A and B are shown apart, each in its own frame.
Chain A
């Protein structure tokens, strides 16, 4: 049986879809405008703003920093988050219940506050190099995602499977790596993607923790816009959009998009 949609429903859905998608077209249009300032609709057509990205070294270096920080920050967060999520699920009965909430706190605290307090305590307090501070900040930023998403995966994992492995002669650490990990790999990948994207997109924390010579792409975009306000910003945005689409396409092809919303 075919379900017919009510015309009003169709209309509202299309409207919301248009509102969501319109800014993206505006950016796409603005990025090819042959003017020295951001404008829409575009006037003329040029790809110079795209080549401009590659001519300004700051974009390239900050993009590399962003990707590095996102990759290592996510990696560190998983390194801390997976064991934490494991312990929280495995020993739920024995651990105090507030403990699982502790790991969500960084989400609840406004990022700007988090950024400021990190700057006060790490950059100024400990006098660590900017890059290290930035990495620590981002690790902290994405840790809740690692704990929560991996935790959700572990919550549906039957720990007697791990006990079965141990009873068959497998040492506990090996049992975790060869039996538990393969069965929560979907959760680990999802956590990685969410954390990675969150880190790459972050402005609030990076704003406080970047410093001389070390900056991230979003901060560079902000800085560039304050100085020039030219369509380069729009073309960078388009490239970032394509990157996101690329990541999502890979997720869709391998795991299915529904997997991220689980």
Chain B
């Protein structure tokens, strides 16, 4: 049975501090959605609200046709995987996995059978008798995963489950989590501050800031077409240039920086360009050339990237990062131009 999770205008406070502001989020049945953001953005608060460890000030939380908003945490039937594993130190691996089954009143024979089947699925059959203290980090997280999965919850939630593991194991584990989640078709909410982790594992990602979702979309869309400056900066658009349209000539638009430098952009590529906007580009999206067109800059530090040289570029309107060809290394202090590479740039609504 797969169900959807819906948060409607959820607001939450810690004391008098508002930590979530009218947050709405819908996760379709069987979908894995990540909440991504820096610490303090409200992602863990959101998870704890759904888990029932916090109560929202207003708004509602629904799982399928059940209203979770004020339901006690132990009745919610949600599988939780914690950052620090949170295994029961006084119980063996098997008893850890069987804990939820025991709460559901299953007999000991059935509990053991189900727990052992689940341990087999996560590759830990040989460790059933061990105590948690005798396991490695990766093994502990597998037990935690098995413990959450064995109760066959309609919703799985992960709170930074991989951040205590080393890099190699992290990649293995996230593939594992994705595999098990897909196999069961369990609706899942995944909280992380790691962009790569969120993008690689999720159907959709919500990028959060200051208690709000800034953008919720497929990873590909977030990466290539951020909707606003915050998300753009988050996914690596390091250059955000305020622009004003000064001339329109059919599809061609002449846009000018606050310092008066101009570039030409085509509405055939970008669609309708508003009169004021932010031009967002990764270093890849700003070509450093010696031509006269584009934004005039003075080059600063040059770094070698393997596929290109990257330059720190000082313009009157600010400092940018641009890439130049390997064929022509330029020295610091050289006067050059920055030309937007249309396919690598985005037009964002102006912040002002």
A residues touching B (Cβ–Cβ < 8 Å)? 94, 158, 160-161, 163-172, 175, 179, 182-183
Contacts and interface: CB of A to CB of B under 8 A. Distances in A.
Contact of B89 (A163, A167, A171, A183): A183
Nearest to B103: A169
Given A169-B100, A170-B74, A164 B80 contact: yes
B88 A167 contact: no
A180 to B, nearest CB: 10
Contacts of B72: 171-172
17 contacts: A94-B15, A158-B86, A160-B82, A163-B51, A163-B82, A164-B82, A164-B86, A164-B144, A165-B88, A167-B74, A167-B80, A168-B103, A168-B151, A169-B103, A172-B73, A172-B74, A183-B90
Nearest to B78: A167
Contacts of B89: 161, 183
B77 interface: yes
Interface string B58-86: 00000000000000111111111011101
Contacts of B104: 169
B99 A168 contact: yes
A169 B74 CA distance: 4
A33 B6 CA distance: 85
Nearest to B100: A168
Main secondary structure of the interface of B (DSSP, over half): loop
Nearest to B51: A167
B74 A158 contact: no
* Candidate in A94, A165, A168, A171 with the most chain B CB atoms within 10 angstroms: A168
B84 A160 contact: yes
Contacts of A167: 51, 73-74, 76, 78-80, 148
Contacts of A175: 74
A211 to B, nearest CB: 45
A94 B15 CA distance: 8
Interface string B292-333: 000000000000000000000000000000000000000000
B53 interface: yes
Contacts of A183: 88-90
A172 to B, nearest CB: 7
Contact of A163 (B80, B90, B151): B80
B147 interface: yes
B333 to A, nearest CB: 54
Which 5 A-B pairs have CB atoms at the shortest separation, nearest pair first?
A168-B100, A169-B103, A160-B86, A164-B86, A167-B80
A30 B86 CA distance: 58
* Candidate in B76, B79, B80 with the most chain A CB atoms within 10 angstroms: B80
Main secondary structure of the interface of A (DSSP, over half): helix
Nearest to B144: A164
Contacts of B76: 167
Nearest to B104: A169
Contacts of B27: none
A169 B99 CA distance: 9
Contacts of B32: none
A117 to B, nearest CB: 36
B87 interface: yes
A202 B348 CA distance: 76
A158 B90 CA distance: 13
B78 A165 contact: no
A179 B86 CA distance: 11
Contact of B147 (A163, A168, A170, A179): A168
A120 B36 CA distance: 62
B90 A182 contact: yes
A136 B113 CA distance: 52
A94 to B, nearest CB: 8
Nearest to B73: A166
Contacts of B80: 163-164, 167
B79 to A, nearest CB: 7
Contacts of B90: 179, 182-183
Given A163-B53, A167-B74, 10 more contacts: A158-B86, A161-B87, A163-B51, A167-B73, A168-B99, A168-B147, A169-B75, A169-B103, A183-B89, A183-B90
A163 B15 CA distance: 21
A170 B89 CA distance: 16
B77 A169 contact: yes
A172 B79 CA distance: 17
Contacts of B51: 163, 167
Given A169-B100, A169-B103, A169-B104, A164 B88 contact: yes
A166 B73 CA distance: 6
Given A170-B74, A171-B74, A161 B88 contact: yes
